[in-house]
Structure formats: structure tokens, C-alpha cells
Structure 1
Amino acid sequence: MSYKDIKSVFPIEKILFFIFISVFIACSDDDTVTSTDEDDEEIVEEEEVSTTVDDTDFEATDWTTATHSKDADPDFDEVFEDNAVKRLDIVITEDRWESMLDNMTSLYGSFGGSSQGGGPVGTTSTDEDPIFVPAEVFYEGIEWYRVGVRFKGNSSLQSTWQAGNLKLSFKLDFDEFEDDYPQIDNQRFYGFKKLSLKNNFDDKSMLREKVAADVFRNAGLAVSNTAFYTVYVDHGDGPIYFGLYTLVEEVDDTVIDEQFSDDDGNLYKPDGDAATFAAGTYDEDEYVKKTNEDDADFSDVESLLNILHDASRTTDAAAWRTNLDATLDTDVFLKYLATNTVIQNWDTYGRMSHNYYLYNNPDNSKLTWIPWDNNEALQTGKQQGSAALDFSNITASQWPLISYLYTDDVYQAKYDAYVQEVIEGPFNEATVQALYASYSALIEPYATSETEGYTFLNSSADFQNAVNELNAHATSRTAAVNSYLNR
């Protein structure tokens, strides 16, 4: 394994062990030396065999219950510390790295090249995820073994790849390859099975993913924990700084396990026309199940669609609300809608038909809205958007969950109350600007390095300019909310 900072990763006992093994291998074949060229070729062949390492033959010497075992509770303080920038090292063999790049080329065309619509030239798009490969992950001098690592993302992954930038997002699955390597059965990273490393695409402040999640959480919504990490990747020639990333907790791993009392409900990640819940769009293939995948029961999302569009909405609004409240946690949705609209988020429901989860909470049998993927939040005017908090003119044929609830007087009053709650609390101008100041000071040395790493910045000045834009945005949203509430 090539690793420049081996002293920081391995204790001295391991280093001495590796030295002993190297000396033993070098000396063990002395009796095979011969003076003929033919025999020299045989010696080379024997040495190649004798020094080949069986990829499955290893001992997980760093394994402890607290760090690696499924039996440990998730350690949020260790993994998702707010006021620190931590480091992860990913070590991938050269061959496996090349297979990852080759796979990306097959999905999205040549690195640094352009294509039509997201795939290789001549294709329109791909629904296929990039491949997982086994890799080693190092953190604080501890090794995690044969971790499943792949590139992740959708349009952001495609755009970054085609721009010729290797600061790609990663997905880590710590027991993806447990069938191939029994030593890592139920391997966890401080209690976490899966984690995402977001590359902060289209965000020169590198703060939006984290701050948006903080605001959602402070508003009382279920949402992923996040933290800042520097990422180094060694794919054969030593560790290379890939830049500052945001580590994000996976919803289908610990979010539903830790933020709900029961994780046995159906979890969906809708994507496509069906994700709009527009009339006539029901499609089980687009209500992608992340739990209970082998159970063909989609009755909960089907009921939501039917009740949402039921004629009682206009003939008996009270009955319609009762039935809708029994299927969808409308209070959670309205609080989410208020928060999402106050902070402005341009790559989610109401603009794009993806980037949210629905969880059927076993406590109340209601589908509960969970936000996801917030790097496009906290800015003005994306996706031909406006500053409006009033949804009177939104298209019911496309975004009925917003349109129908907003045009109902009872639901609109709840939405308005949540808008006021958000601007006075989690997105209070002074509060969020203090958060921007704290986080930007924390990450600035890692975000603006111009001597190493991959970045979306053209210069270090881009970072501070982006932070200034966030502060100005917070001020403008306060004015917009006050205008809306005083209408």
C-alpha cells in the first residue's frame, strides 16, 4: 500500500512488522539462485508468486467494538463534530481506481469532455450508479478495511466529471463487500454503515449543505447530520488532496433509526414525474424504496396521491383535510415548506421532482417529509425562481402538494405561522450570519488552498465573495418575509 504519511496511520509496531516481512521475503529465496538466463526467468516467476498478496488474506487488527462493530451506537459527537474540520484518507489500488474512471467514462463520456444530456455522446442520460470498489479508509490513525467506495451524484457528478474536475462526490458503504471479505462482516464507522462525502458542487462558500441542514434541524425537522472533512485519496502514488467536503449522514442508515422511534416503515426516495404527485403520475418504479424493498406494498404513497386529488377537496374541505392528515404528516410538510421557502432551495420539490425522502413513520402511520441534498439552497434566483413566499400562482398540475395546501385557508394559516417561526428562530438574520462567520473562519484555510487539491474556485477571493453573498441573502430574506407576513 502506497501511503506518504504512513507514520500517522500505522503505529510503530506495524511498521516494524512490515519491515520484518520485507526482509524475510527478500532473503527467503537465496537457494534458488542460478547462473543461467533460463533459470533467471524462472526465479522471476517464483518471486512474483511468492510476493503476491491474497486480497482476502488479512487480519482486521484495528477492529474494536466502538470503532468498527455494528453493536456500537452511532457516535455523532465523533463523526459529526460541528466545530472541527476532520480528515479522511481513502486508499484505492491503482487498478481499482482505473476501473472507477473507466466506468465513469462509460456512463458520462470522456473526462473533461462534453456530451449531450448527461451520458456518453449519443446518449441522453443514465440511471445507473457508478461501481463500488473495495478501498481502505483511514481516520485518526485507524484503518477500516475493504470499504465500498464509489462516485455519487446526478447532474452534479456529470457536470464535475465533464468539466475535468476530480473533486467528485463519494459514497462509502462500510460492509458493501462483507460477502467477499468475512473479516468485515457488519463493519461500521463509529456505528455508521453508509456515509456520503458531498463535494459542495456549485457552492463556492462550501457552507450551504451544512448550514441548510442546521436550519432544518433547528426548525425541528428530521434531517441528516453534516460535518466538514478534508479528503485525501491515494490511488497508487501517495495521498492527493481532493479538497474540502461535507460529510452527510445517510437517511436510509441512521437518520430513520435515530430520529424516529422505529425504523421498520417504508422509506421512499421519489424521483421523476411520480415524485410531483401530480394527477395521473402514479408509478411504483419512481417511488424508489430504500427499506422493505422486497415488499411490493406501495399502498401508502398510492393513498396519498388518491386523497390529495379527491373531489372532496372542493366539496368538503374539512373531510379532505382529515383524510390527508391521516396519510401525510401535513404539519411536518408545511414546516418543511416554510423553512425551505424562507431559505430558498432550488433543487427540490416545487422546482425539481427529486431530493426528498418520504418515511412512513410507524408511530402514526403517516408519510413524513425528509429534506435531502441542499447544496443549491441559500441563494436567490436559481431555476428561474423568485423571492415569493406566496404560492397562489403555483401550478397545481405540476406541484399539487404545495398548490392544494396553500390554497386551503387552514393549511395556509399554518404555513404562515411556520414562516414567522423560521425567520424569528433558526433563520433569524443575526443568528444565521453568526453561523456563517463561525463556519467560514473554520473552513477557510482548507477551502482556499491554491497550491494543492481540486476546487471549484477560480481564486481564493471567490470564497469570501460567496460568504458575503450568503450574508446579503439572509438580509434580503428577512425583508421578503416581513413583506409577505405584513401583506
Structure 2
Amino acid sequence: MADNPEALPWLIRLDKFIDDQQHEGITELVVRSNNSQTALNEAVALELLTEAGLASQEATAVRFTFNDSSAKLRLVIENPNDEWVATQFDEESSDAVGQLYKAESTGDWSYRGDDPAEYEEVWDQEAGEDDLAPLTDFLQFVNDSTDEEFAAELATRLDVEAFARYLAVEDLMGNFDDIEGPGNNSYLYFDPDTGQATVVAWDHNLAFSGGVGA
């Protein structure tokens, strides 16, 4: 793959060298890896998430080249960050930005105490004030609460309706690489006013059986 950079996944920051440079309000773009000839599976998956009222990413198909390489059909999507959070969760009129954390493929959802260093390899904060407390508090609740505490407090700590829709849509799309999959693909967003968590979908190039060779 190193000999074919046009086929690699890319993260492009438009404001890396020019302050405030953006395209239609988007500052970070991800050039996705294709596991199908057209990448339509991921494009359709993102549309379905939006139609289901769930947080999703804008996407477009592009003709992608690197220097003088041959052109490849690729799907480009916005990378979740502060601006994405403000738009997706209607925070544009608020002074506060909710925290957004990305689950790493090497991690899990275990509670590792309140030392931020214990989470460096398993979670990455992508938006909001630099603070892991919302995440660690939630993980402690999920892992250490009694059955009675879990039942009584779950609806105040997690957007249960959105999570149920998320699970249903992921199952409908046959996406085995979701929150339960080997890639641990998901984000956790925490509302700045209520502290309630929302599971955010990510990485759908394997949706609709879009595996290697599909």
C-alpha cells in the first residue's frame, strides 16, 4: 500500500498551514479507504444514519490522485471535531461545546480509574474542553454500578432512544465493524448542559457486506 498512496486513507486539515481555512464550514476531511468498487455502501450508510435522525458525516465522491498517480474513485467525509459537534448537536447558539471522544481500535469500554494516562491508548478526545471526567464517570457507571443503579440512572446518563436507533440501523446495514466489532468504531458525545452521553456511529466501509473483495 505504501507504493500506492492514492489508495491509502488520508486525514486532511485545511487549516493546518492557513489559519481558519475551511470549505463550507468544514476544516478536516477524511479520504476513506474503499472496500468496494464504488464506495456506495458507506455513502448509503451515512445517508441512512441521517434519515434515522442520528449524527452522521457529510460525504462526497471524488477523483483522487497523489502527485502523478492514476486517479482513484474515493469517498471523502468530514472528520468529527468542534465544528461538526456544534452542527450535529445544535450547539451553534450555545457558548459551550460538548466533549467528543473516539474509541481506539486497541481499546475497550472498561473503567481504568480516573488517571487520564490510563486512557491515552484507548480513547482520543476530538472536541470540547480538554477533560476526560465525563468519559471516566460514564465508564465507571457502566462497569461498576449495581443492577438497581444501572436501571435507575441509565436514561439520565445515556440517550437511550438514540442508542436503540443506532443499534437497529447498524444491524439493518449489516455493519459488523460497529461499536461491537473488531475496530471498536464509535464516538461518545457528552451534552454540555445535561451531561448525557450519545453513541455516535463511525466507519461504514464494511456496511452491507462491503468486505475485502466485495
TM range (shorter): 0.7 to 0.9
Cα-to-partner distance string for 1:157-196 (whole Å, 9 max, x where unaligned): xxx337x57422222211101xxxxxx3311123221111
The 5 A counterparts of 1:247-396 are 247-262=76-91, 264-272=97-105, 274=107, 276-278=108-110, 283-285=118-120, 286-292=122-128, 295=130, 297-313=131-147, 316=148, 319-379=149-209
Q: Do the aligned partners of 1:261 and 1:363 also contact (CA within 8 Å) in 2?
A: no
Cα-to-partner distance string for 1:117-163 (whole Å, 9 max, x where unaligned): xxxxxxxxxxxxxxxxxxxxxxxxxxxxxxxxxxxxxxxxxxx337x
Q: Which runs of 4+ in 1 moved over 4 A?
A: 279-282
Q: Do the aligned partners of 1:174 and 1:187 also contact (CA within 8 Å) in 2?
A: yes
> CA, structure 1 residues 368+166, in 2 after alignment: closer, same or farther (shift >3 Å)?
same
For residues 46 and 110 of structure 2, what CA distance do their matches in structure 1 show? 27
Equivalent position to 1:174, from 1, 4, 14: 14
For residues 111 and 2 of structure 2, what CA distance do their matches in structure 1 show? 36
1:219 and 2:59 equivalent?
Answer: no
For residues 103 and 15 of structure 2, what CA distance do their matches in structure 1 show? 25
Ranges in structure 1 where 5+ consecutive residues have no aligned partner: 1-159, 178-183, 383-455, 458-465, 467-487
**SS of equivalent residue, structure 2 residue 197:** strand
Which structure's residues are more often helix, by fraction?
Answer: 1
Q: Do the aligned partners of 1:194 and 1:253 also contact (CA within 8 Å) in 2?
A: no
For residues 258 and 289 of structure 1, what CA distance do their matches in structure 2 show? 18
Name the larger-Rg structure.
1
TM-score (norm 2): 0.83
The 5 A counterparts of 1:70-469 are 160-161=1-2, 166-177=6-17, 184-200=18-34, 202-233=35-66, 235=67, 240-262=69-91, 264-272=97-105, 274=107, 276-278=108-110, 283-285=118-120, 286-292=122-128, 295=130, 297-313=131-147, 316=148, 319-379=149-209
> CA, structure 1 residues 278+191, in 2 after alignment: closer, same or farther (shift >3 Å)?
closer
For residues 347 and 266 of structure 1, what CA distance do their matches in structure 2 show? 23
Q: Do the aligned partners of 1:328 and 1:368 also contact (CA within 8 Å) in 2?
A: yes
Ranges in structure 2 where 5+ consecutive residues have no aligned partner: none
For residues 111 and 193 of structure 2, what CA distance do their matches in structure 1 show? 28
Q: Give the share of equivalent positions with the same residue, in percent.
A: 25
Alpha-carbon RMSD across the aligned residues, in angstroms, is 2.7
Identify the structure with bigger relative contact order (alpha carbons < 8 Å, sequence gap 6+): 2
State the Cα distance separating 1:309 from its structure 2 match: 2.7
Cα-to-partner distance string for 1:304-323 (whole Å, 9 max, x where unaligned): 2222233521xx2xx42231
Letter matched to residue 369 of structure 1 = V
For residues 323 and 222 of structure 1, what CA distance do their matches in structure 2 show? 23
